[in-house]
Amino acid sequence: MNFLSIDEIFSENDRIHSELEALLRTVGDAHVSKMVDGEKWTVQQVVEHIAIVDEGASKICHKLLSRARDAGSTASDSLVIGDKFMSGAAEIDQIKVEAPERVRPTGKIRIADSLNRMEDNRRYLSEIKPMFEAYDNAVYTFPHPLLGELTATEWLVMKGGHEARHTRQIERILAKLLR
């Protein structure tokens, strides 16, 4: 997807999150911690993982935007999302990936607690949204374990794509559970 503005990225991330929440409302307590064949995580663990990554990506965005602010790098009129990032993200979306240790779920966090963590993070992102519009969000980068160096905007897009990917994973898990 090509984004024209930070508002569009935030709107798309909101839509993706709403889909996850709607899906989770259909999950009964008996299914949240059941392991199914072909999957390494339960629904509960997937949601915990999303919350961990979500929070990390937002902190990275803030760090990169703060560096731009401190350097006096103001935003340009154009939104920059690299072709390398977009093709890498599309490629990763088609394969199973092993999560780095730092973002692996414990399996001890309830879905409601993970959702609360995501909601806190969404508020945090709303608070720093003006920084995306005021400062050059493409001048500094931070490495992603699979996608390489990403800008603040690319981290924001990645956050939504990551949540969408795992929403589909939860759908697969539920389909297997409900056979």
Taken in order of first residue, the domains within the chain and their CATH numbers are 6-177 (1.20.120.450)
In the predicted model, is pLDDT for residue 132 greater than 70? yes
Please choose, from the candidates 178, 175, 164, 174, the residue with its C-alpha nearest in 3D space to the C-alpha of residue 32: 174
Mean pLDDT of 63-87: 89
In the predicted model, is pLDDT for residue 24 greater than 90? yes
Q: Is the pTM of this model over 0.85?
A: yes
Q: In this predicted structure, what is the pLDDT of residue 155?
A: 96
Q: In this predicted structure, what is the pLDDT of residue 3?
A: 67
In the predicted model, is pLDDT for residue 130 greater than 90? yes
Please choose, from the candidates 26, 121, 136, 10, the residue with its C-alpha nearest in 3D space to the C-alpha of residue 73: 136
- Alpha-carbon torsion (143, 146, 148, 152), positive or negative: negative
Helices 6-24 and 111-134: crossing angle in degrees, nearest 10, is 170
Q: Do 161 and 89 touch, CB atoms closer than 8 A?
A: yes
Q: In this predicted structure, what is the pLDDT of residue 2?
A: 63
Backbone angles phi, psi at 137, to 5 degrees: -90, 10
Kindly state the helix (H) or strand (E) to which residue 106 belongs, with its residue range.
none
What's the farthest any 2 CA atoms get from each other in the chain? 57
Q: In this predicted structure, what is the pLDDT of residue 69?
A: 96
Inter-CA distances, 160 with 10, 37, 100, 116, 151, Å:
9, 27, 18, 17, 15
> What percent helix, strand, coil does the chain show, rounded to 5?
60, 5, 35
Mean pLDDT of 140-151: 94
3-state secondary structure 112-149: HHHHHHHHHHHHHHHHHHHHHHHECCCCCCEEECCCEE
Q: How confident is the model at residue 106 (pLDDT cuts 50, 70, 90)?
A: very high
